[in-house]
Structure 1
Amino acid sequence: LVRAHGAVNAAVDAAALTKASDEMLRLQAWLKASLHAFVGDEEPTCIVHGDYRLGNLILEPRTPRVSAVLDWEISTLGHPLSDLAYFLAGWHTPAEMGGLRTDPPPGTPSEESLLELYAAARGKPAAPPRVRAFFRALMWQR
């Protein structure tokens, strides 16, 4: 661990590694200003996982059911669609980056079918595409 912590070369500007680009700063400002227009007040704040993805799920071996959700250390209060957007990010990410967009395994459900299942389980209509796009942008800026 000490070797890893000492691995940053003195020539590396550590502050520059965490500085947001001008584009990201503009996106963050737009997201903050647009939140109410896209979300409104109809959804109550809830506990969100913050890293809800297939890698943090333990699935039952013979049925398509989740047995456990792991890694709650970045959970917080927020909008439920933020977890859904994070979960569905894989459907917008190329396989080379660990996503499902370019080469999903056989039997992988479509994004639309997952959205329909989620909406049915909540007893609410699916979020419109523009709201889902807003939450995708919010998720990608993290």
Structure 2
Amino acid sequence: MSEAQKASLELDRAALGRELEGAIDGFRGLETITKFKGGQSNPTYLLEAASGRYVLRSKPPGTLLKSAHQVDREYRVMKALKGTGVPVPEMLYLSPEDSSIGRMFFVMSHIDGRIFWDPAVPEVSVDERRAIYDNMNRVLARLHDIDPVSVGLSDYGKPGNYFTRQIDRWSKQYRASETVKLADVDWLIDWLEQNQPADDGAVSLVHGDFRLDNMMFSRDGTEILALLDWELSTLGHPLADLAYQCMQWRLPHASGFRGLGGMDRAALGIPSEQDYVRDWCERRGLEGVDNWVFCLAFSFFRLAAIIQGIVKRIADGNASDPERGAQLVAAVPLLARMARNLIEKGE
């Protein structure tokens, strides 16, 4: 990371402290600000103050793509979900755009837990690993069972066919951040546009980035204390979340993706993709899923578009973690090729 990039992510402790003391009950004496490692989108910081620990999440500096980095949406959805059975931190403050750090941010409670970065979860036993995956499945099903109207989120997404909207959105986002022409991406966009399933009317809250390392687990157990990183959440089709998580079963493990591809999942106590889908369906009272290949292919494309945005931000000097992001430059063609192979094989 260049000195200019580092400087753009540094926060003015004195100014921020004054703002938070006037905005959050009991907040006092901001002492240190430490940026968390990792994360490619919205930079996140640990705040240590005389009154305790807090977490701040902000928009990145620089020029941003339209509709990206909406931390106010993250704040809103987590505030609405408190007490619903979907574990989230307590939301404490949402700043205006002209905040003390020069961009919008929110502050939430700090949760003392652990994050598992490797989906094989090598640091736990087989029984614990099995429980971790079952708890993820349970939380995902619970999220999709929540009535958005009942939590004040009836307007959290646009009406109409979710996949139609999302293909249009991510195609535009991809084109806006495109750095090289990739034939497989062009082919995939055309296929998705021409093979959209009919709208079945299913609508739920969708997280948008539901995966193991966006969850905080208890220090000495398998309980999920918080589901984090809601930047991509909206109202949409619940199969989008399920397929997005199930991509991890297919992605290679020895890569920046840290997928489960090629691993002996049965020996690890990790359910098969089919069993994971079955458990989610049983929890939601469904008989099965339709258009699974389409849902997976869409998820591969959507992830490719997200990563392409990171590649563009690296080029522009605005990436939250440029060193990590640089490792993902090769990911976009890999994802497009995997999606095309999936479609052509039909499984």
Q: TM-score, normalised by structure 1?
A: 0.75
Q: Which residue of 2 aligns with 1:138?
A: 298
Q: Which residue of 1 aligns with 2:179?
A: 18
Q: State the distance in 1 between where 2:181 and 2:206 align.
A: 24
Greater gyration radius:
2
1:124 aligns with 2:283: no
Q: Which residue of 2 aligns with 1:12?
A: none
Q: Note closer, same or farther for the CA distance 1:124–1:96 as it changes in structure 2 (3 Å cut).
A: same
Q: State the distance in 1 between where 2:181 and 2:234 align.
A: 23
Q: State the distance in 2 between where 1:44 and 1:50 align.
A: 16
Between 1 and 2, higher relative CO (CA 8 Å, sep ≥ 6) is seen in 1
Q: State the distance in 2 between where 1:47 and 1:83 align.
A: 9
Secondary structure of the corresponding residue to residue 91 of structure 1: helix
Q: Between the two proteins, what is the percent identity of the paired residues?
A: 34
Amino acid at match of 1:56: N
Q: State the distance in 2 between where 1:16 and 1:124 align.
A: 38
Secondary structure of the corresponding residue to residue 281 of structure 2: helix
Q: Note closer, same or farther for the CA distance 1:4–1:74 as it changes in structure 2 (3 Å cut).
A: same
Spell out, residue by residue over 1:33-81, the C-alpha distance to the aligned partner (whole angstroms, 9 max, x if none): 2113xxx332423221111111112235534x53321100121222111
Q: Which residue of 1 aligns with 2:228?
A: 70
Q: State the distance in 2 between where 1:3 and 1:111 align.
A: 44
Q: State the distance in 1 between where 2:186 and 2:231 align.
A: 26
Q: TM-score, normalised by structure 2?
A: 0.33
Q: Which residue of 1 aligns with 2:259?
A: 99
Residue of structure 1 aligned with 2:194, choices 33, 38, 44: 33
Amino acid at match of 1:124: L
Q: Which residue of 1 aligns with 2:276?
A: 114
Secondary structure of the corresponding residue to residue 113 of structure 1: helix
Q: State the distance in 2 between where 1:90 and 1:113 align.
A: 14
Secondary structure of the corresponding residue to residue 42 of structure 1: coil
- Tell me, which stretches of 5 or more residues in structure 2 are unaligned? 7-175, 303-347
Residue of structure 2 aligned with 1:42, choices 168, 192, 200: 200
Spell out, residue by residue over 1:98-141, the C-alpha distance to the aligned partner (whole angstroms, 9 max, x if none): 0112124711122121111100011011214xx11111110111
Taking only aligned residues, the RMSD between alpha carbons, in angstroms, comes to 2.7
Q: State the distance in 1 between where 2:181 and 2:300 align.
A: 13
Q: State the distance in 1 between where 2:283 and 2:201 align.
A: 15
Spell out, residue by residue over 1:9-29, the C-alpha distance to the aligned partner (whole angstroms, 9 max, x if none): xxxxxx885355233123112
Q: Which residue of 2 aligns with 1:8?
A: none
Q: State the distance in 2 between where 1:68 and 1:20 align.
A: 39
Amino acid at match of 2:299: M
- Tell me, which stretches of 5 or more residues in structure 1 are unaligned? 6-14
